[in-house]
Amino acid sequence: MAGTHGAALDRYAPLIRDWDAFVRATTEPRPTCVVANGNRIGADGLAALLDADACPIEPVHWTQGALRVPPPARPGGWWPAQAGLYQIQEEASLLPVHLLAPEPGERVLDLCSAPGGKAAQIAMALGNTGTVLANDKDSRRLAAVRDKMKRLGLVNLTACVHDAGDFPLAAGMFDRVLVDAPCSAEGTNARSGAGYERSERTFRHWVGGQQRALLRRAVKLTRPGGRIVYSTCSFAPEENEAVVESVLRDLPGEVYPVQVNVGSLPADPGVAVWGDHAFDQEVVENAVRLWPHRSGTGGFFAIALERPANATVYAPDPAEVEPAAPGEPADRTAILDPLVHRFGLDPADLSGLKLWEAGDHVHATAEDHRPPGRPRPTASGVPFTRRGARWPKPTTAAALMLGDAASRNVVALDRAQVDAYQARQAVQPRPEQLAACDGRGHVLLHFQGVSLGVGFLHPGDGDTPATIESQFPRAWMR
């Protein structure tokens, strides 16, 4: 079957024992994975919820919090996705954050983050604490990052726009930095229907220079003792082993590869020899390669690197960096008391939030979230409530984040009503569904104990039935 994909992939035939199986695997449909939003639900609870919806799922045993959904299922359109209970990832894309192993409270940078799946995965792993910075050089692509912040209630995530290869050292040091580098994308192109124009030699030469610059910058932004993960969805050694080897050579003693545990994931080490060049053995032994015919995933390369405790310090200590303020500090009592009273919330559930007035909204960030002032943030945390609103109303983002704990003015919907609500259609509640409501105003809508968002209750009178006006975000409609 040589030649099926042209010279772009034929060049890898010497590296692969079962070439025909490899070629088939590059085009076969693969399972999708969903990562439980641990701030709201665990993987076991999510599995039970999806099982109840007659969707066959299985846990991803090699990493935490992920479930495998077989093709041709499209979990992006399911109601739990709209309710912010999970983030969708291709299984191979789970690997970089697994290797990064972020911990709650840390300061983490995703240098090339759009469309934001890995940044969201990092922010969820931190348990909505600490500081995650999602950077991309294209401001248009950050719209997807901002959408994930709202849907998943990520108050520890800030988005910013900057050339990653020249990311300001003034931003301070980070505990962990992810470089999921732009690449030829050979590991996903065939399945997505794309071609291999970016596999041409001229592109590989150009992108290799970009990848080296990104990884060098990541090293300088990582504190001594911190961790960097470099990854691509390319098969090309020029974009993988060669990039890492080059940076190790350019920055001797500043960073070194470390062994990682990927459990039951069918992974291979790095490529040892390419052409007449034998790669650094430490790189080869510690790299993780996913070949589609062996792993059942897209093609991927990843490696974890750590900085020694005595490494050179290039950036200022985070404590010395002036944090960016998303706006003017808001009056917590004036903002929260009406919401606590209206929805029966426990004030303790709100204790970890900072509130900021910016534009028409009050925004919420984690109490310990400290995004740097440079580069200038484009979005931080989530919009929480509208300033000066007549009726106490959390935004949909705030309702998804906190509404599970509400006890008043909550309406438990049935499945048909859920579909109507998420289609922005009016819902006609039955009298018993309004037992926890005390009149006209905003209500929180639930299904199976899960907050779905916000509606406006018109209680009706006499012959006029009660209705709930859907305030599901138009941009989120399926």
DSSP assignment letter at 86: E
Tell whether 113 is in a known binding site.
yes
**264 is annotated as contributing to ligand binding:** no
- Letter string b/e over residues 436-457, b meaning 16 or more CB atoms within 10 A of that residue's CB: bbeeebbbbbbbbebbbbbbbb
Instruction: Compute the distance between CA of residue 198 and CA of residue 328 in angstroms, rounded to an integer.
Output: 46
| CA–CA gap between residue 50 and residue 334 (Å, rounded) | 39
Specify whether the CB–CB gap between 228 and 219 falls below 8 A: yes
Q: Is 337 annotated as a binding residue?
A: no
Is 437 one of the catalytic residues? no
SS3 state of residue 441: strand
136 is in an annotated binding site: yes
**118 assigned binding-site residue:** yes
Helices (H), 386-445: 396-402, 415-422
Burial of 68 (0-12, 13-18, 19+ CB in 10 A): middle
SS3 call for 199: helix
Task: Tell whether residue 115 is among the known ligand binding residues.
Answer: yes
> Is 407 assigned to a binding site?
no
User: Roughly what angle, to the nearest 10 degrees, separates helices 241-250 and 201-221?
Assistant: 50
Is residue 279 a contact partner of residue 270, using CB atoms and an 8 Å limit? yes
What span, in angstroms and rounded, lies between the C-alpha atoms of 154 and 39? Answer: 9
Quote the CA–CA distance of 58 and 380 in Å, as a whole number: 34
30 and 91 in contact (C-beta within 8 Å)?
yes
Instruction: Check: CB of residue 228 under 8 Å from CB of residue 218.
Output: yes
Q: Tell me if 347 is assigned to a ligand binding site.
A: no
Residues listed for the chain:
478
Q: Which of 33, 183, 233, 437 is catalytic?
A: 233
Which residues participate in catalysis according to the annotation? Answer: 233
Residues tagged in the binding site annotation: 112-118, 136, 163, 180
Residues tagged in the binding site annotation for S-adenosyl-L-methionine: 112-118, 136, 163, 180
